[in-house]
């Protein structure tokens, strides 16, 4: 007899914002559970909200601006105490990082006011509607979803989210992104069972052979990103991005900020003054910087979303004679042209190059060549570390990533833990090819076929109907346990 699942009250975040096929997943969920509240981008994937008559809909842009959802009277929501705000100090610190993406020109006090208002609003909504679970498409990396996630956890409300893995056509489910996938975490503690490559799902076999059988298998999404942020692709994105700023009246403020940027020195010229040459004659750790802003650094890196802190911590732990070869992300400048940003500010490359043991290498240097010659790859949570693992190179991670339970991964958060990791790496080397195949077998068992964006959709060998069944099935199973 099939188990009877309790009907639960759900908040949805991000669903059907960019992908129409996610609507089918939600319809399937709605047959078993009550959808109380739904935050989404409304103007990309249109559908009939009247199909969900008992659901409160909240537009993504209103949520970002701390404007209440239609139907919610927030005037009666109480203001948390100083003690309650103080307990959220770590959340507030990460929130400040996230505000850089949207409100670069705002003062720190204005950003704090936005944080306080979001805490008041989302705390009030949770206390009023009392959901059983928050189901997010992705790791919470927008200001509002990050606050909602942490307030839910503090109230004992379940959270479910996904991260895209491999070619972005598989998903891992998390309850807490810091812990990763529960099944993989459990198997990692007891050891991954032996697997033969031929026994793995075909898509995982293809990914493994593609990565290990080519000299430079650049991910497909890198080329797509470049197309989107250059030429006509950049013009289309810029035009579309201006629409909400025209609507909310901030276009003049942003235009003035843009004008001042054009009059300032170029980021490329600063980089050119401090770039060196990759030296392979001495032992080194390869440090590929993350593109920012992106969730892989905030929130997944915590304090190490400040990549200068990451490099300084690692440099302070190096054995005598070792170096750090640091490479800028090849896409970092594309959306911003020659402009500095809050993530690459004036003096960033100068300060980086002055750190003892650091060599800033040219963008033209092959990441796979750097991996080949490195003793290890270190990053917050980036794909170059995964590419290194598949090539037998240890990974030193300062954040949380979908592959953080893989063999050969060292998770660090201090000079002391870096020193220990480097000592173990010097003694033990990297993971074997067989251990990585074993891990991929466990990853295949723990993941579901699905995607969160158009990059993954391009690889997906399954239909939208299969996609909808996979996601709604994974969510229903998680809600039942």
* Residue 196 Cα distances to 201, 433, 446, 449, angstroms: 11, 11, 17, 21
Q: For 147-157, what is each residue's pLDDT tens digit?
A: 999 999 999 99
Q: Is residue 328 part of a domain?
A: yes
Q: Looking at the structure, do residues 129 and 156 belong to the same domain, yes or no?
A: yes
Instruction: Quote the DSSP letter at residue 6.
Output: P
Q: For 193-248, what is each residue's pLDDT tens digit?
A: 999 999 999 999 999 999 998 767 666 555 555 555 466 665 665 666 666 767 77
Q: Looking at the structure, do residues 418 and 331 belong to the same domain, yes or no?
A: yes
Terminal C-alpha separation, the chain: 17
Q: Is residue 201 part of a domain?
A: no
Strands, sheet with 284-288, edge to edge from the N-terminal-most edge strand: 358-361, 323-327, 284-288, 376-379, 395-397, 409-411
Q: What is the pTM of this model?
A: 0.89
Q: Looking at the structure, do residues 345 and 385 belong to the same domain, yes or no?
A: yes
> Measured between alpha carbons, how far is 198 from 437 in angstroms, rounded to an integer?
10
Q: Is residue 230 part of a domain?
A: yes
Q: For 245-277, what is each residue's pLDDT tens digit?
A: 677 777 776 666 656 655 667 899 999 999 999
- Reference 402, options 382, 387, 388; nearest CA is 382
Q: Is residue 128 part of a domain?
A: yes
Q: Looking at the structure, do residues 247 and 354 belong to the same domain, yes or no?
A: no
> Measured between alpha carbons, how far is 369 from 371 in angstroms, rounded to an integer?
5
> Measured between alpha carbons, how far is 32 from 428 in angstroms, rounded to an integer?
50
Question: b/e string for 173-190 if b means 16 or more Cβ within 10 A?
Answer: bbbebeebbbbbeebbee
Does residue 8 register a pLDDT over 50? yes
Q: What is the mean pLDDT of residues 43-70?
A: 96
Q: For 395-414, what is each residue's pLDDT tens digit?
A: 999 999 999 999 999 999 99
Q: Is residue 379 part of a domain?
A: yes
Q: Looking at the structure, do residues 132 and 247 belong to the same domain, yes or no?
A: no
Does residue 123 register a pLDDT over 70? yes
Q: For 318-348, what is each residue's pLDDT tens digit?
A: 999 999 999 999 999 998 888 999 999 999 9
The CATH number for 472's domain is: 3.40.50
Question: b/e string for 367-401 if b means 16 or more Cβ within 10 A?
Answer: bbebbeebbbbbbbbbbbbbbbbbbbbbbbbbbbb
Q: For 372-397, what is each residue's pLDDT tens digit?
A: 999 999 999 999 999 999 999 999 99
Q: Is residue 210 part of a domain?
A: no
Q: Looking at the structure, do residues 222 and 324 belong to the same domain, yes or no?
A: no
Q: What is the mean pLDDT of residues 115-128?
A: 98
**pLDDT score for 1:** 44
Q: Looking at the structure, do residues 77 and 157 belong to the same domain, yes or no?
A: yes
The CATH number for 324's domain is: 3.40.50.2000
* Number of domains making up the chain: 3
Q: Looking at the structure, do residues 379 and 466 belong to the same domain, yes or no?
A: no
Q: Is residue 206 part of a domain?
A: no
Q: Looking at the structure, do residues 470 and 430 belong to the same domain, yes or no?
A: no
> Measured between alpha carbons, how far is 292 from 342 in angstroms, rounded to an integer?
9
Q: Looking at the structure, do residues 250 and 274 belong to the same domain, yes or no?
A: no
Lowest mean pLDDT, pick from 306-315, 436-445, 467-476: 467-476
Note down the domain range covering 417. Answer: 267-442
Q: Looking at the structure, do residues 40 and 167 belong to the same domain, yes or no?
A: yes
Instruction: Quote the DSSP letter at residue 51.
Output: G
Q: Is 459 exposed, middle or buried (0-12, 13-18, 19+ CB in 10 A)?
A: middle
Q: Is residue 223 part of a domain?
A: yes
Q: Looking at the structure, do residues 134 and 225 belong to the same domain, yes or no?
A: no
């Amino acid at each position: 007899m099939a188990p009877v699942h309790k009907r639960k009250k759900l908040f949805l975040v991000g669903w059907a914002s960019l992908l129409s096929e996610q609507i089918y997943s939600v319809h399937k969920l709605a047959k078993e559970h009550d959808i109380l509240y739904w935050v989404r981008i409304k103007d990309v994937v249109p559908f009939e909200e009247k199909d969900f008559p008992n659901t409160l809909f909240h537009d993504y842009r209103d949520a970002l601006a701390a404007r209440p959802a239609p139907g919610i009277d927030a005037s009666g929501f109480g203001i948390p105490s100083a003690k309650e705000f103080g307990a959220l100090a770590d959340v507030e610190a990460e929130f400040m990082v996230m505000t850089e993406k949207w409100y670069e020109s705002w003062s720190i006090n204005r950003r704090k006011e936005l944080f306080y208002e979001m805490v008041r609003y989302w705390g009030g909504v949770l206390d009023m509607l009392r959901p059983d679970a928050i189901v997010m498409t992705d790791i919470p990396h927008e200001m509002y979803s990050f606050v909602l996630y942490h307030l839910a956890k503090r109230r004992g409300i379940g959270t479910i989210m996904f991260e895209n893995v491999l070619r972005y056509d598989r998903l891992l489910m998390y309850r807490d992104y810091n812990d990763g996938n529960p099944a993989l975490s459990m198997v990692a503690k007891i050891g991954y069972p032996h697997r033969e490559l031929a026994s793995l799902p075909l898509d995982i076999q293809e990914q493994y052979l593609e990565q290990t059988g080519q000299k430079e298998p650049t991910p497909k999404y890198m080329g797509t990103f470049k197309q989107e942020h250059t030429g006509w692709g950049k013009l289309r994105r810029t035009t579309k991005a201006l629409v909400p700023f025209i609507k909310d009246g901030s276009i003049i403020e942003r235009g003035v900020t843009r004008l001042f940027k054009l009059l300032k020195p170029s980021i490329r010229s600063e980089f050119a003054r401090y770039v060196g040459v990759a030296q392979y004659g001495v032992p080194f750790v390869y440090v590929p910087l993350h593109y920012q802003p992106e969730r892989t650094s905030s929130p997944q890196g915590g304090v190490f979303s400040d990549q200068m802190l990451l490099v300084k911590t690692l440099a302070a732990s190096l054995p005598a004679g070792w170096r750090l070869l640091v490479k800028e992300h090849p896409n970092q400048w594309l959306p911003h042209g020659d402009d500095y940003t809050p993530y690459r500010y004036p003096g960033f490359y100068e300060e980086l190059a002055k750190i003892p043991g650091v060599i800033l290498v040219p963008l033209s240097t092959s990441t796979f060549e750097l991996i080949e010659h490195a003793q290890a790859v270190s990053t917050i949570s980036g794909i170059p570390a995964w590419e290194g693992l598949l090539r037998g190179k240890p990974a030193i991670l300062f954040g949380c990533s979908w592959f953080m339970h893989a063999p050969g991964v060292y998770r660090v958060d201090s000079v002391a833990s870096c020193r220990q990791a480097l000592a173990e790496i010097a003694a033990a080397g990297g993971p074997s090819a067989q251990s990585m195949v074993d891990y991929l077998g466990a990853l295949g068992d723990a993941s579901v076929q699905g995607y969160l964006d158009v990059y993954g959709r391009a690889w997906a060998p399954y239909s939208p109907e299969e996609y909808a069944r996979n996601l709604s099935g994974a969510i229903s199973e998680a809600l039942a346990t």
